[in-house]
A and B are shown apart, each in its own frame.
Chain A
Amino acid sequence: NAGVTQTPKFRVLKTGQSMTLLCAQDMNHEYMYWYRQDPGMGLRLIHYSVGEGTTAKGEVPDGYNVSRLKKQNFLLGLESAAPSQTSVYFCASSSLDRENQPQHFGDGTRLSIL
């Protein structure tokens, strides 16, 4: 019963490098989300998806791209990493069916951009 799995758990990049963060959920959830968590700022929504093949911008989308080719996977891409993108990234998912729609979170990816 894995829930939401994020890979990698840690990564260090140099400015200008690219990378993709992977998120997988095994709960058959329709909605998936990418957040970043910075000290004193809580969680900020980067992008989200309401279903396979669809994505939408959240509060802080600049510098990131996402794809949802399969229902269970949601990928977050950084095309040209910048130091301002140093953060902890969380993926989450939620169900369309449950009325209160709580989100289920992965354990996070700690990303440092030098």
Chain B
Amino acid sequence: GEDVEQSLFLSVREGDSSVINCTYTDSSSTYLYWYKQEPGAGLQLLTYIFSNMDMKQDQRLTVLLNKKDKHLSLRIADTQTGDSAIYFCAESRGGGFKTIFGAGTRLFVKA
């Protein structure tokens, strides 16, 4: 998972926006994903973006992709305590078995 890098921790106040950043290395990646892991559970797909897109918005979530810099970000608007979790960035190089995961960013939301 070292090819996908994320900061390990992020702390925000409830109601603020959270921005989780990720860098990846393979310019041929087709899809980029954000997964969410809550305590004691597996990863759940949060959202994804195809590599020919710059932005994708889904309710409180905004994904930005800068393909030139190989940078992906996830913005969570109006962050709630229920958003506290680990967020994994992942890139797919074609086929599920070529999906590379980052180490995950642990988001702490303070009330």
Binding site for B on A (CB under 8 A): 4, 31, 33, 35, 40-45, 48, 50, 56, 58, 90, 92, 94, 100-108
CB distance from A65 to the nearest CB of B (A): 17
* Apart from A41-B1, A43-B88, A102-B45, 8 more pairs, CB < 8 Å: A31-B95, A31-B97, A43-B101, A44-B1, A48-B96, A101-B31, A104-B45, A108-B42
Cβ contact within 8 Å between B42 and A105: yes
Number of A-B contacts (CB under 8 A): 64
Neighbouring A residues of B45 by C-beta, 8 Å = 102-104
Does B44 interact with chain A (Cβ within 8 Å)?
yes
Question: Which DSSP category, helix, strand, loop or mixed, fits chain A's interface?
Answer: strand
Q: How large is the interface on B (under 10, 10 to 19, 20 to 34, 35 or more residues)?
A: 20 to 34
Residue of B nearest to A91 (CB): B42
List B residues at the A interface (Cβ < 8 Å).
1, 4, 8, 31, 33, 35, 40-45, 48, 50, 88, 92, 95-97, 99, 101-104
- The answer to whether B42 touches A107 (Cβ under 8 A) is yes
Complex: how many Å from CA A18 to CA B100? Answer: 29
> Contact: B41 with A107, CB < 8 Å?
yes
Contact B42 A106 (CB under 8 A): yes
Return chain B residues, CB-CB under 8 Å to A101: 31, 92, 95-96, 99
